[in-house]
Structure 1
């Protein structure tokens, strides 16, 4: 259902580019402090937005804000929770919101809280005024909708990434299939390894054990069918995901389809940021050479900053 309801709207790429710019600054900041794990946890994977929009200051917006605040607060206590707000008979019919958040099963609650806080801060920028939205970061996920989706199995494909192929490594395929068979048998979060092949899988907490098994079976099938002999592959369905990689290859998987535009967007933004840095240096030299006052710029609507 989500893959049909939550579709990119006309401003999605522009908003995503803006958000990714902020993410780049987060990454630079965290890397300078050596916080590699925290940065990785907040890496953007995908997002989806509904076409239908709510009105500012509406009852739905009030309930949405309550849900997002509850998700941030709840993530400091538990890695999963679901919510239903405004769905009682006394509330307006357009006020109902159903939502959940979930962190990867091996995340500490402190890291989970930071990841969900990052996701919540992004979802409104990526999907402004949307009646439904989902945002997946590397280690956490946030979703809300106007209709009740909780506990209802849906295995629509949301995202896939496949690395380069390994065409004739029989041992690799044997190890990979062992890992995938183990991941498929999970009922929540599971990590598996066989030789140099590793992987993990997870279902959303609102699924029953039987539905989780069905979802993971579908995810593993798509890993094999869509990514073939890839050395590393990720498949995210609407309510579960499965990933595997050969040791040493997972750091640089590339998408085998034309559907993933995130890497291109990041490359463009990196180029823009690098270009801005060059311009700033040149302007600084010009200022010093000409003896002018500091030059001020306004970047993305923020307070102006002097470049000395």
Structure 2
């Protein structure tokens, strides 16, 4: 299987609805194409629909679509940032699946990272496989940190890259005007996740030095940090909050949860709508290919 070719691009979308979670970060497609109408295409459509449907219930899941021939067996997963609501997670994954269809038409494998979620599929298994391939590095402008400010920034990053003995694939940290977020894909074991995040933190401090902000994505984990006002992710300053009941750095100010109840009320309606939209996208893509062949 040829490696995915990544498009290392950052765009800041200004659509108010989900601009902070739906902004394009990077994408990649396999060089190998499948023939439209073949069994593999049906497997891809089935897998992507399953990812969208599952995202209404959880922030992570993986699927394997088995076939009589090994080359038609398909593996896939999605993961949302750990503090997203079910509504935002489902919306993000639905958008990612839609963009994958445009970015990687007829590709046997593809991966897409939006600001709030990650989707990947391939016919070579990657589930549970640690991968430290660097796919995106971005540093903000250099600024004049005082010694205390730089120590706070490094302290936040070190906190994210240090294990407390529990499995925490999603982590947040902050001190003063510096905030940061880290996450590894949950198909990794606790030790693999820790190894990946420690690697990112070390590289990020080396790459970005005294930068006001920095993003570093490896294939299976990422770390982002930002000094207040330095830059925005998807139109909003980097904001992080912990999941309910999760221990965290006390220097971090959790976002208010006042909107949670209202989001849950709309979830039941959006679940059906998102699933219907995903199925419609798959059907229209299939129909368009058939019309082009004529």
TM-score range, shorter chain: 0.7 to 0.9
**Correspondence for 1:61 among 41, 48, 68:** 41
Partner of 1:163: 140
Structure 1 segments, 4+ long, off by >4 Å, are none
Aligned to 1:132, which of 109, 113, 136? 109
Q: Residue in 1 aligned with 2:5? A: 7
Residue 210, structure 1, aligned to residue 197, structure 2? no
Answering whether residue 69 of structure 2 is matched by residue 71 of structure 1, we say no
Give 1:252 shift.
Answer: 7.9
2:177 alignment counterpart: 196
How far did residue 168 of structure 1 move? 4.7
Return the offset for 1:251: 2.0
Greater RCO, 1 or 2 (C-alpha within 8 Å, sep 6+): 2
Residue 58 of structure 1 deviates from its aligned partner by: 1.2
CA RMSD of aligned residues (A): 2.2
For residues 192-241 of structure 1, the C-alpha deviation after alignment (integer angstroms, 9 at most, x for no partner) is 00111110100101000000011001111121111121110000100000
With normalisation by structure 2, the TM-score equals 0.73
Mark the runs of 5 or more structure 2 residues left unpaired by the alignment.
Answer: 235-294
Query: How far apart are residue 171 of structure 1 and its match?
Result: 1.6
Q: State how many pairs are aligned.
A: 229
- Higher helix share goes to which structure? 1
Counterpart for residue 98 of structure 2 = 121
Three-state SS of the structure 2 residue aligned to 1:70 is helix
| Partner secondary structure for residue 128 of structure 1 | coil
Where do 5+ consecutive residues of structure 1 fail to align? 254-308
